[in-house]
Amino acid sequence: MPFDGEGFEGQVEADLAVLRACRASMSERGAWCQNSFFRPSTGSSCAVGWVLRHRGQRPEEIQGGKFPEGAVEFVDRVFSWRFDGLPGSGDVLDELIDFNDKSSRKAPVLRLFDRAIARLEGSVR
């Protein structure tokens, strides 16, 4: 069946809702962390941890680098414009993890989410 765009706008709106929630959560004081998907002692998460949490998944359950179903595809959809990688390979997700962990502050991570949100908002106008 050829691509007819049906469902595209709904997917974009769902992705936007997750990105906006992640951005809002990370902007809270003490809510962003590095080098860990989730810190139970503080309730903080890295960028990928917040993505998982706002998709209804549990970052504390990541074992051996295996991510919950749909996580890689979501990150591919919303961040492939920024990071190189083969779709479905996990490369884009790995790049997002590296970006989060190598940023000296959370401001660049928040800006990355702002840009992803702006790009998706432009696709549904």
Q: What is the pLDDT of residues 78-107, one digit of tens each?
A: 998 888 766 667 788 889 999 999 998 999
The domain total for the chain is 1
In a domain, residue 16? The reply is yes
In a domain, residue 43? The reply is yes
pLDDT score recorded for residue 10: 84
In a domain, residue 28? The reply is yes
In a domain, residue 21? The reply is yes
In a domain, residue 77? The reply is yes
In a domain, residue 2? The reply is no
pLDDT score recorded for residue 2: 44
In a domain, residue 1? The reply is no
Residues of the chain with pLDDT under 50: 1-4
In a domain, residue 94? The reply is yes
Helix pair 91-102, 107-123: axis angle to 10 deg: 140
- Give the chain's length: 125
5: left (phi over 0), alpha (psi -120 to 50) or beta: left
Tell me the whole-structure pTM to 2 decimals.
0.84
User: In degrees to the nearest 10, what's the CA dihedral of 35, 41, 44, 50?
Assistant: 90
Domain that holds residue 25: 8-123
